[in-house]
Chains A and B, each alone.
Chain A
Amino acid sequence: MLELNGLDVGYRGQRVLHNVNLTFRRGEITTIIGKNGSGKSTLLKTTCKLLKPLAGRVSLEGEDQREYGQRRWAQKLSYLSQSRSESQITVRALVMHGRYPHLGFSRSAGPQDYQIVEKALKQLGIEQLQDKSLSQISGGERQKAYLAMALAQDTPYIALDEPATSLDLSVQREMLKLLLQLKQEGKAVIAVMHDLSGALEISDQVCLLDRGKVASYGPTRQIVSSGVIEEVFSVSCMEIQREGNPLYLFS
């Protein structure tokens, strides 16, 4: 269980979010939604030990985040960043970097590492791209390659900052399916998403940020029925059922 207790987050003393209390459990998808600039990515980075909390505490399986070294933390939680390197390395080498936190002193990969990399490439359907340089592939393919790297990290918790950005509609759907698959594998998935329909469709828990605080947090249906999403985004929301699953339309 990954817990945020009384967390204040921000940059250089400038507070972006105040008193955040959230719990991420394994086998659940939690999406973080909110308007632009509401602090979604800042919250995710603080959760992932990339920014220091201004106040409060992050704990993973009962142990304070500060007790973890960067490497041990990376063995527990992987993070898909929005930033992309201009490096000329191949897709295969990039995905292999996902194994870095698990490598020993010699930093050489073993057969198990290669198996995990192969599985990650297969999960994202990019085996045929593995010999191509990052500069030779499209933005969407690059996004998949980075996600494959996060999967190769093989952690029980996975945090994704806008995983469906720059993907076409069919690939966006594939991505949502993949998140559900990760949930079924028992991973805790934490995703910052702009696509409200997609977020609500796959989430078990939703965290809505607004004006420097958590406006609402809880099970998806509860958040939708409370009307807070409509209020924050100034939209109207309609739920429809398709093959027994809820779909959300916004206008």
Chain B
Amino acid sequence: MHTLQTFSATRGRGATLILVLLILLGFCFCLSLCLGSTPLGARTLLAIITGKDTSSQAYRIVRYVRLTRTLASLLSGMALALSGSLLQKSLHNPLAGPSIIGVNAGSGLLTLLAAAFFPRMLALGAFASFLGALMATLLVYALARRSGSTRLTIILAGVAVSSLLGSCTDALLTLRPETQLGRIDFLIGSFAHVTFSQLQLAAPLILLGITCSLFLGKPLAILSLGDEVARSLGLDVRRTRFLSLMLSALLSATVVSMCGLVGFVGLVVPHMVRFLIGEESPLYLLSCTLGGAIMTVGCDLVARMLFSPYELPTGVVLSFLGSPFFLLLLFTRKRRTANA
């Protein structure tokens, strides 16, 4: 049974990667809790984790500052990487990211509207951002559906809706220039200001999105063969694509509403995982989820430590470290293919 053996080998490779990713994630998570303007030792952290220390200053730092921030970056990384891989697979577009289905434009416009008309209601911004992202995605899908919900019509509808919403944002900024300040915060995106109550709202949505998305692995693999072939294999193409878009929008909208536009993760992590284990692995989506978490937790740590006590926005570090790593993988892959 050569076929069975080779399939087992592929699965084994995926399982090894999952194990490595889990160890790496655990390491980054602990480092993120330990390092900062007040460094903590491994023993102190162990005492806090095991419940032996519940009153010291170190405990309060971990419990009220670093844990929230670390969990926010971990969940955001998971959600963004998964969101990107769902989009790339369902739209057969290696450059697909949340912006392609109108998430960023919708979220940006409603955040700005909330800031312009209800400047005192700060909590409204996050809700408006979430609502804008989901509404824009639904609008993109509704428009694309009139022409058959193909990957091309979705991408074209996404470009048109993003452009329309973007022009509305520009018009609003011209009329109400004082809202520019809120927009900058939103555009930079950071885990530094995430509160525990924000995390409490976002975490269930992200975990729900991740759980549902992981069931889409096989249907998305079939969909990547093209609509016609997928339908001939018994896949409900329209439903699979709709579910992927909605889950992708839910995941990225939740992150955007929590910490602004954190870019790059959704685009790069799926490619990195593809280079490492290939996209045919049944553990591809799970690997993307863990890979995204490592990337954001690691980069957030670097953002905090590089010029401590000053901080860089995490998005800057994500692009700065992620781009060369991505290019390195690209060239390594090219060399490997040429040698094959």
Chain A residues with CB under 8 Å of chain B are 45, 48-50, 69-75, 78-79, 81, 83-90, 92-94, 96-98, 100-101, 103, 107-109, 111, 114-115, 117-118, 121, 127, 130-131, 136, 146, 153
A97 to B223 CA separation, bound complex (whole angstroms): 10
Q: Is the CB of A70 within 8 A of B231?
A: yes
14 contacts between A and B (CB under 8 A): A71-B234, A71-B236, A87-B224, A88-B278, A89-B221, A89-B280, A94-B225, A107-B218, A114-B7, A121-B3, A127-B2, A130-B2, A131-B6, A153-B233
Sorted nearest first, the 9 A-B pairs with minimum C-beta distance are A74-B234, A71-B234, A101-B234, A79-B232, A93-B280, A107-B218, A114-B4, A89-B280, A85-B225
Q: CB of B340 within 8 A of chain A? A: yes
User: Within 8 Å CB of B222, what residues of A?
Assistant: 97, 100
Q: B1-15 vs A: 1/0 string, CB under 8 Å?
A: 111101100100000
User: Within 8 Å CB of A100, what residues of B?
Assistant: 218, 222, 233-235
Query: In the complex, which residue of chain A has the Cβ closest to the Cβ of B221?
Result: A97
Q: Is the CB of B340 within 8 A of A78?
A: no
User: Within 8 Å CB of A127, what residues of B?
Assistant: 2
Which residues of B, 1-56, contact A by the 8 Å Cβ criterion?
A: 1-4, 6-7, 10
A158 to B4 CA separation, bound complex (whole angstroms): 25
Chain B residues with CB under 8 Å of chain A are 1-4, 6-7, 10, 92, 217-218, 221-222, 224-226, 228-229, 231-236, 274, 278-280, 282, 337, 340
Q: Is the CB of B224 within 8 A of A85?
A: yes
A119 to B270 CA separation, bound complex (whole angstroms): 33
Q: Is the CB of B233 within 8 A of A88?
A: no
User: Within 8 Å CB of B229, what residues of A?
Assistant: 81, 83, 85, 146
Query: In the complex, which residue of chain B has the Cβ closest to the Cβ of A90?
Result: B280
Residue from B4, B92, B235 within 8 A of A70 (CB atoms): B235
Q: Is the CB of B232 within 8 A of A78?
A: yes
User: Within 8 Å CB of A101, what residues of B?
Assistant: 233-234
A71 to B274 CA separation, bound complex (whole angstroms): 28
Query: In the complex, which residue of chain B has the Cβ closest to the Cβ of A73?
Result: B234
Q: Is the CB of A92 within 8 A of B221?
A: no
User: Within 8 Å CB of B92, what residues of A?
Assistant: 86
Q: Is the CB of B1 within 8 A of A114?
A: yes
Query: In the complex, which residue of chain B has the Cβ closest to the Cβ of A106?
Result: B218
A14 to B120 CA separation, bound complex (whole angstroms): 57
A121 to B2 CA separation, bound complex (whole angstroms): 11
User: Within 8 Å CB of A109, what residues of B?
Assistant: 7
A210 to B37 CA separation, bound complex (whole angstroms): 80
User: Within 8 Å CB of A115, what residues of B?
Assistant: 1
User: Within 8 Å CB of B3, what residues of A?
Assistant: 92, 114, 117-118, 121, 130
Q: Is the CB of A74 within 8 A of B233?
A: yes
User: Within 8 Å CB of A88, what residues of B?
Assistant: 274, 278-279
Q: Is the CB of B232 within 8 A of A89?
A: no
Q: A97-B222, A97-B225, A100-B234 are in contact. List 8 more A-B contacts (CB 8 A).
A: A49-B231, A73-B234, A85-B226, A86-B92, A96-B7, A97-B233, A121-B3, A127-B2
Q: Is the CB of A92 within 8 A of B225?
A: no
Residue from B4, B235, B274 within 8 A of A111 (CB atoms): B4
Residue from B2, B221, B225, B232 within 8 A of A50 (CB atoms): B232
Query: In the complex, which residue of chain B has the Cβ closest to the Cβ of A80?
Result: B232
A84 → B minimal CB distance (Å):
8
User: Within 8 Å CB of B234, what residues of A?
Assistant: 69-75, 100-101
A90 to B226 CA separation, bound complex (whole angstroms): 16
B96 → A minimal CB distance (Å):
15
A19 to B224 CA separation, bound complex (whole angstroms): 35
A90 to B222 CA separation, bound complex (whole angstroms): 13
Q: Is the CB of A81 within 8 A of B224?
A: no
A48 to B279 CA separation, bound complex (whole angstroms): 28
A96 to B7 CA separation, bound complex (whole angstroms): 10
Q: Is the CB of A92 within 8 A of B7?
A: yes
User: Within 8 Å CB of A117, what residues of B?
Assistant: 3
User: Within 8 Å CB of B274, what residues of A?
Assistant: 88
Q: Is the CB of B232 within 8 A of A81?
A: yes
A177 to B282 CA separation, bound complex (whole angstroms): 36
A45 to B235 CA separation, bound complex (whole angstroms): 15
A24 → B minimal CB distance (Å):
16
User: Within 8 Å CB of A74, what residues of B?
Assistant: 232-234
A189 → B minimal CB distance (Å):
16
Q: Is the CB of B7 within 8 A of A98?
A: no
A68 → B minimal CB distance (Å):
10
Query: In the complex, which residue of chain A has the Cβ closest to the Cβ of B239?
Result: A70
* Best-buried of A50, A87, A101, A117 by chain B (most CB within 10 Å): A87
A96 to B280 CA separation, bound complex (whole angstroms): 11
Q: Is the CB of A118 within 8 A of B232?
A: no
User: Within 8 Å CB of B10, what residues of A?
Assistant: 93
Query: In the complex, which residue of chain B has the Cβ closest to the Cβ of A71?
Result: B234
Q: Is the CB of A118 within 8 A of B231?
A: no
A145 to B277 CA separation, bound complex (whole angstroms): 22
Known: A92-B3, A114-B4, A136-B340. A83 touches B226 (CB 8 A): yes
User: Within 8 Å CB of A45, what residues of B?
Assistant: 228
